[in-house]
Amino acid sequence: MRRARRDHSFTPNLRIAWDGKTLRNTTKEEHQEVTGPALVMHGHITPSDWNEYVSVKEAAGGTFNRFLPVTLSPVPMLDDDADVWPTLDVDGLAEAYMWASARPRTLTLGPDAKPLWRLVRRYGRLLNASLPEHLAVFVQRTEEQTLRVAACLAASECSTTITHDMLSAALSFVRYSVRSVTTLVAAGEHKTRTATPADKVRAVIAREGTIKRGDLVRAAKMPAAQLDSVLSEMNDVATERQRTNGRPATVIRLDQREHPEEHPNVVSLSEKRREKPDSPHATQRPAEPFREKNGGTNPFAVLRANLGR
């Protein structure tokens, strides 16, 4: 991942190798070529390093949807006084590898797996359609990854038929990977989120407690018209007219009221704008959320029922 920033051909070569296409190097004196590459990548990375080295741009190019990231829980503590450690039985996997690599084989879906495969394909389409683009680019190969994992499970049993149970187990693993990567990317995005104008205004008001409008314009370093527009969209800000020896002043503060009737002289700016439709800073009420006909509001409802949530 560090190398990808320095070598622009690194991630394209990863994609070519993952796809099993021919790798070529024509920059050396002798032409180099690798046909039928078989690439396996396995590694561990901390969430902080992931968010530093994995860019959405590279993911959009198709590099990181070829990976299956999974978050790991802490390893359970082992008994230090145990005299005998569990033995690993790898003979079955060794035989399966010899069977799979002996000659080319074609794996097919069994009759009992085909209905579930249609659900898997629908699940992948719904994911891409419902997730934000910067998250969807990490999971655009959900169907293909599920089929690959299921094929590995079939090969581990020296079988050329992918059964329903194999496909179901593969889907469970891939769905966990989808949850892992979307949570990881969303957490990194939250930490690096750029402060909005509303964030800046709110920070100034929170620091001062109460502040006059003119002072807020100078402290927030934005034009008065922009400030009025920002304030009109903030539901947690209130304005109050305070009498002084001279002209009454408009004071702005964060509105932390639980019961509006306790402060009848305090008016929420967003409510004030809505009450005056002729005002140049008036805002419209948000439109009601779109709902599909026949009461359909969640496209994943049927999938959850069929996949057992």
Residue, of 295 and 139, whose pLDDT is higher: 139
- At 212 the three-state DSSP class reads strand
Residues 20-49 pLDDT 10s: 889 888 776 778 888 888 878 888 888 888
C-alpha neighbours within 13 Å on the C-beta side of residue 35: 1
* pLDDT average, residue stretch 202-225: 82
Residues 159-169 pLDDT 10s: 999 999 999 99
pLDDT score at 171: 95
Look at residues 233, 232, 206 and name the one whose alpha carbon lies nearest to residue 220: 206
Residues 73-85 pLDDT 10s: 877 776 666 667 7
pLDDT score at 294: 43
Q: What are the start-end ranges of the H helices in 233-290?
A: 269-275
Cα angle for residues 262, 268, 271 (degrees, 5° grid): 120
Residue 25 Cα distances to 8, 9, 22, 30, 280, angstroms: 14, 11, 10, 9, 63
Backbone angles phi, psi at 23, to 5 degrees: -95, 135
Local structure of residue 43 (DSSP, 8 states): -
